[in-house]
């Protein structure tokens, strides 16, 4: 007998009241069954806000002439991560706008340093890069590649000027997995112009891809973008999507993204952990650069170690003693 995975219906994504509470409770129970009470904790450094893409939903889009652009230096980041990183992190994510110069000149030497001098598991989130730099990053010691497909509607994808075409993005995700990377993706919940069927399309696409994890980010109208005046995604619909993702794939690593604090001020992040998220990220980007990493707004709510550990504790969870990289390697084996 073939057992089909659970797949959400429109009413799951639109649930409220008692139905929503049940959905979230089921998702939390699914996460606990698969991962216990452990939550992976990683750090992130945002090494460059140069970007050759022009996505309508992102403040770092190349047409934003109001943004002070920066590339961090290897030495400053190495000093931070080798000698001054928080004790709770087991892994690091190195993230940038789509900037091949930073990938080659900053990220690649940083990965080599971290692999040589720390036990950190290493992931990168750098967009679509050439085969030579992608392979070099893998050979240097990075093992997970984060590349979001953003939305599964090809026409809307094109209209929002998301990177390349949706077909190219999906092909690159598959190519990375074939190359030996552990690949995590993600999509934006509540983008303007997306109906219930389009929302379900995000799940259909995610399910079809060779992923080890997936994120749900609430749409937040970004500064200096064409969507500044668009309505934001509600915290309820975002959490419903996270819960549905957990129930669809109990084995996936699903992060609680920092934008939950914008969609649901005060409680949004904790509620993400209560709907099955099992990965938290401490922002380690230096203060002088952080405000210019403009995904949404300059006045960012920064998830530091104190806030992350408090959220985990308040939900009755605990920091994983296992590196995310080790978990993924074991799961693949």
pLDDT category of residue 4 using cuts at 50, 70 and 90: low
Whether 4 is covered by a domain: the verdict is no
CB atoms near residue 135 (< 10 Å): 13
How many structural domains comprise the chain? 1
User: Which pLDDT does position 42 carry in this prediction?
Assistant: 98
Whether 5 is covered by a domain: the verdict is no
User: Which pLDDT does position 21 carry in this prediction?
Assistant: 97
Q: What is the tens place of the pLDDT at every residue in 130-159?
A: 999 999 999 999 999 999 999 999 999 999
Whether 123 is covered by a domain: the verdict is yes
Whether 40 is covered by a domain: the verdict is yes
Tell which residue, 125, 79, 121, 122, has the closest CA to residue 103: 125
pLDDT category of residue 2 using cuts at 50, 70 and 90: very low
Q: What is the tens place of the pLDDT at every residue in 207-239?
A: 999 999 999 999 999 888 999 999 999 999 999
User: Which pLDDT does position 295 carry in this prediction?
Assistant: 83
Q: How far apart are CA 204 and CA 198, in angstroms?
A: 10
Burial of 154 (0-12, 13-18, 19+ CB in 10 A): middle
Is 211 in a helix, a strand, or coil?
Answer: coil
For residue 259, pLDDT beyond 60: yes
Q: Quick one: angle between helices 108-117 and 74-83, nearest 10?
A: 20
Distances (CA, A) of 170 to 7, 152, 208, 219, 245: 20, 10, 10, 21, 19
Backbone angles phi, psi at 81, to 5 degrees: -80, -30
CB-based contact 73:101 (threshold 8 Å):
no
CB-based contact 107:80 (threshold 8 Å):
no
CB-based contact 118:91 (threshold 8 Å):
no
Length of the chain as a residue count: 333
Whether 130 is covered by a domain: the verdict is yes
Whether 2 is covered by a domain: the verdict is no
Q: How far apart are CA 265 and CA 62, in angstroms?
A: 29
Tell which residue, 215, 213, 219, 249, has the closest CA to residue 233: 219
- Which domain covers residue 209, as residue numbers? 10-332
pLDDT category of residue 30 using cuts at 50, 70 and 90: very high
Q: What is the tens place of the pLDDT at every residue in 54-112?
A: 999 999 999 999 999 999 999 999 999 999 999 999 999 999 999 999 999 999 999 99
Per residue in 47-68, is it b (16+ CB within 10 Å) or e — as a string?
A: bbbbbebbbbbbbbbbebeebe
Q: What is the tens place of the pLDDT at every residue in 263-319?
A: 998 899 999 999 999 999 999 999 888 888 988 776 777 899 999 999 999 999 999
- What mean pLDDT value characterizes the chain? 95
CB-based contact 151:187 (threshold 8 Å):
yes
Tell which residue, 61, 56, 68, has the closest CA to residue 221: 56
Q: Quick one: angle between helices 235-248 and 196-208, nearest 10?
A: 30
Q: How far apart are CA 166 and CA 151, in angstroms?
A: 8
Helices (H), the chain: 10-13, 17-35, 74-83, 100-102, 108-117, 131-140, 154-159, 166-178, 196-208, 235-248, 260-263, 268-273, 287-290, 305-314, 324-332
Q: Write the CATH number for 317.
A: 3.20.20.70
pLDDT category of residue 1 using cuts at 50, 70 and 90: very low
CB-based contact 35:328 (threshold 8 Å):
no
Whether 253 is covered by a domain: the verdict is yes
């Amino acid at each position: 007998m073939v057992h089909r995975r659970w797949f959400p219906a429109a009413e799951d994504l639109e649930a409220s009241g008692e139905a929503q509470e049940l959905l979230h409770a089921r998702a939390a129970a699914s996460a606990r069954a698969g991962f216990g009470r452990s939550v992976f904790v990683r750090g992130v450094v945002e090494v460059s806000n140069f970007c050759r893409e022009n996505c309508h939903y992102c403040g770092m889009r190349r047409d934003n002439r109001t943004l002070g652009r920066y590339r961090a230096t290897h030495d400053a980041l190495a000093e931070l991560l080798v000698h001054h990183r928080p004790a709770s992190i087991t892994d690091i994510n190195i993230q940038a706008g789509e900037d091949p110069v930073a990938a080659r000149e900053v990220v690649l030497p940083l990965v080599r340093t971290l692999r040589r001098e720390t036990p950190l598991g290493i992931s990168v989130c750098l967009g679509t890069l050439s085969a030579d730099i992608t392979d070099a990053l893998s050979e240097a010691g990075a093992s997970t590649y984060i590349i979001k497909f953003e939305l599964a509607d090809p026409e809307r994808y094109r209209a929002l000027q998301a990177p390349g075409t949706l077909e190219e993005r999906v092909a690159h995700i598959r190519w990375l997995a074939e190359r030996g990377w552990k690949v995590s993706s993600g999509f934006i919940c509540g983008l303007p112009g997306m109906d219930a069927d389009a929302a379900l399309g995000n799940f259909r696409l995610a399910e079809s891809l060779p992923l080890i994890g997936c994120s749900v980010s609430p749409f937040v109208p970004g500064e200096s973008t064409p969507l500044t005046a668009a309505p934001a995604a509600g915290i309820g619909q975002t959490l419903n999507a996270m819960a549905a993702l957990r129930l669809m794939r109990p084995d996936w690593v699903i992060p609680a993204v920092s934008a939950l604090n914008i969609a649901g001020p005060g409680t949004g992040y904790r509620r993400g952990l209560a709907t099955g998220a099992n990965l938290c990220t401490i922002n380690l980007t230096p203060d002088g650069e952080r405000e210019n990493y403009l995904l949404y707004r300059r006045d960012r709510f920064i998830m530091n170690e104190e806030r992350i550990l408090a959220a985990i504790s308040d939900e009755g969870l605990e920091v994983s003693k296992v590196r995310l990289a080790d978990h993924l390697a074991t799961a693949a084996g």
